[in-house]
Amino acid sequence: MLLGLALIIGLLFVSLHVLKRLGAGSGKGANLLTIRGATAVGPRERVVLVEIADKVLVLGVAPGRVTNLLTLDAAELPLAPGASSSQPGGKDFQSWLKQTLERRPR
């Protein structure tokens, strides 16, 4: 009985290793989605910048819900896609978000 249990546990570990290797995504579609920044707007709510292709989505993320707030071209952002801010998801993103929301028609 112990040998059977050890065999099943070993099989689970081998399967997990194989799934990790296959799911690593070293193919063409591996870098289609990039998180550009995020900031908390509440205890469990966040605003996240997600870049996909040449568009940037501003998403509101809450428990159990993701809402598209705004869609922009990648060129409209203050930082270039390869540049990194001193604080990822920090003050630069927060000030940009505040300016964008103030400009947005209601």
Whether residue 19 lies inside any domain: the answer is: no
Domain for residue 4, yes or no? no
82 residue type, one letter = G
- The arithmetic mean of pLDDT across residues 27-31, rounded, is 56
Total number of domains in the chain: 1
pLDDT beyond 70 at 83: no
pLDDT at 80 over 70: no
How far apart are alpha carbons 76 and 56 in whole angstroms? 9
The answer to whether residue 84 is domain-embedded is: yes
Residue 84: domain span: 28-103
Give 60's strand partners: 47, 67
48 assigned to some structural domain? yes
Provide the pLDDT confidence category of residue 77 given band limits of 50, 70 and 90: confident
Q: Residue 48: how many CB atoms within 10 A of its CB?
A: 18
Residue 22 lies in a domain: no
